[in-house]
């Protein structure tokens, strides 16, 4: 393992003013997105959509540090025969790959899930590295509800995250460690804080057990935020303050950077929360975004599967990427949202 090179890549992934595009939607998830805009989810349509994003020169070169790809996408070529990974590399961004294989019900823990995909992962990582991937992603899902999460669910998911991370580093691939506490429930921000603290503490305990070099990874957590069904939604300033307090308590300074998931927040909410965190003084790690829906909802709608709308889709993508790039430096203002192309 070349830790110096892993650290270089991890640091580049969280460079000031840039963030990570999560374009790793499964076939089922992107079908839902395409259904919403009236586009058939064929392999060629999925390819065309992602090619549109990766050819958005302004967004990709100025505001995107890396792209998380789905297995289908990493092997695809653009219409002119150029591998999509080469389009990403040519913009200066780093190709990455989602390597988990989804979730399964956790025996003896009704309503809870464990992420799977460790079998043969070492072999898959070698092939992804040869294709150009220099980082990977594994998502654990922790739900909040009556009597959950259990310590069992937290422990088995943290163990799997750490085992995945160790395998990645052995393959010279930077692991994005993503323990996501879902925001789907009616819990308040303090309940989210408490559960996320437990999850992060257990995750870093397991990372140490598995001898993962913290200098060669990126953390992708949720924010401390109210559940979507909570009657009282915490304001932006509270989300920012409690999230930073939580991270300072749980995340060692050796970690090069933290790239937030959006977790179902609206475009502007995710941007405003990230921006507010940068108003809270110096931070021990880089702090940026790794958004999917919060970067792609607008360009998907603008594109709508039509070749004549490619330029409009790229403008929408560039705007969202720029807004989040500014937020990752604490320079975003809500007035800028009205200047969308």
Residue 172: which region, alpha, beta or left (left: phi > 0; alpha: psi -120 to 50)? left
What are the phi and psi torsion angles at 61 (to 5°)?
Answer: -85, -30
Q: In b/e form, how buried is each residue of 298-317, taking b as 16+ CB within 10 angstroms?
A: bbbebbebeeebbebbbbbb
What are the phi and psi torsion angles at 272 (to 5°)?
Answer: -65, -40
Selecting among 51, 112, 178, 206, the annotated active-site residue is: 178
What are the phi and psi torsion angles at 21 (to 5°)?
Answer: -85, 120
Does 178 qualify as catalytic in the annotation? yes
Report the pLDDT averaged over residues 226-250.
Answer: 97
CB 317 within 8 A of CB 53: yes
CB 1 within 8 A of CB 173: no
Write out pLDDT tens, residues 98-144: 999 999 999 999 999 999 999 999 999 999 999 999 999 999 999 99
Please tell me the class of the 3-339 domain: alpha beta
Does 86 qualify as catalytic in the annotation? no
Write out pLDDT tens, residues 54-91: 999 999 999 999 999 999 999 999 999 999 999 999 99
SS in 3 state form for the chain?
Answer: CCHHHHHHHHHHHCCCCCEEEEECCCHHHHHHHHHHCCCCCCHHHHHHHHHHHHCCHHHHHHCEEEEEECHHHHCCECCCCCEHHHHHHHCCCEEEEECCCCEEECCCCCCCEEECCCCCHHHHHHHHHHHCCCEEEEEEEECCECCECCHHHHHHHHHHHHHHHHHHHHCCCEEEEEEEECCCCCCCHHHHHHHHHHHHHHHHHHHHHCCCCHHHCEECCCCCCCCCCCCCCCCHHHHHHHHHHHHHHHCCCCCCEEEECCCCCCHHHHHHHHHHHCCCCCCCCEEEEEECHHHHHHHHHHHCCCHHHHHHHHHHHHHHHHHHHHHCCCCCCHHHHHHCC
Write out pLDDT tens, residues 144-179: 999 999 999 999 999 999 999 999 999 999 999 999
Structural domain boundaries in the chain: 3-339
Confidence at residue 213, expressed as pLDDT on a 0 to 100 scale: 98
Q: How far is CA 266 from the centre of its chain?
A: 15
Please state whether the peptide bond connecting residue 149 to the residue before it is cis, i.e. omega within 30 degrees of 0. yes
Selecting among 18, 202, 220, 242, the annotated active-site residue is: 220
Confidence at residue 341, expressed as pLDDT on a 0 to 100 scale: 44
Write out pLDDT tens, residues 177-199: 999 999 999 999 999 999 999 99
Report the pLDDT averaged over residues 319-330.
Answer: 95
* pLDDT averaged over every residue in the chain: 96
Report the pLDDT averaged over residues 211-239.
Answer: 97
Report the pLDDT averaged over residues 222-240.
Answer: 96
């Amino acid at each position: 393992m070349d830790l110096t090179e892993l650290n270089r890549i991890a640091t580049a992934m969280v460079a000031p003013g840039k963030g990570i595009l999560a374009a790793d939607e499964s076939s089922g998830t992107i079908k839902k997105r395409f259904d919403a805009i009236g586009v058939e989810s064929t392999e060629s349509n999925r390819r065309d959509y992602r090619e549109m994003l990766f050819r958005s020169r302004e967004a990709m070169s100025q505001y995107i540090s890396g792209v998380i790809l789905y297995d289908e996408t990493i092997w695809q070529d653009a219409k002119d025969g150029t591998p999509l990974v080469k389009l990403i590399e040519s913009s200066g961004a780093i190709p990455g790959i989602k390597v988990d294989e989804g979730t399964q019900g956790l025996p003896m823990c009704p309503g809870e899930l464990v992420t799977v995909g460790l079998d043969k992962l070492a072999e898959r990582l070698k092939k992804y590295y040869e294709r150009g991937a220099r980082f990977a992603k594994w998502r654990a899902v922790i739900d909040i509800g009556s009597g959950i999460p259990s310590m069992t669910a937290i422990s088995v998911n943290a163990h799997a995250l750490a085992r995945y991370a160790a395998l990645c580093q052995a393959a010279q691939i930077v692991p994005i460690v993503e323990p996501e506490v879902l925001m789907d429930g009616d819990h308040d921000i303090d309940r989210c804080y408490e559960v996320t603290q437990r999850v992060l503490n257990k995750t870093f305990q397991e990372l140490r057990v598995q001898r993962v070099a913290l200098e060669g990874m990126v953390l992708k957590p949720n924010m401390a935020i109210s559940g979507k069904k909570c009657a009282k939604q915490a304001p932006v300033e509270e989300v920012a303050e409690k999230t930073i307090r939580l991270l300072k308590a749980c995340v060692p300074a050796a970690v090069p950077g933290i790239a937030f998931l959006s977790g179902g927040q609206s475009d502007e909410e995710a941007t405003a929360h990230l921006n507010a965190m940068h108003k809270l003084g110096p931070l021990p790690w880089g702090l940026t975004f790794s958004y999917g829906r919060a970067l792609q909802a607008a360009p998907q709608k603008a594109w709508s599967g039509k070749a004549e709308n490619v330029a409009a889709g790229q403008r929408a993508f560039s705007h969202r990427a720029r807004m989040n790039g500014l937020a990752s430096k604490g320079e975003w203002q809500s007035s800028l949202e009205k200047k969308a192309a």
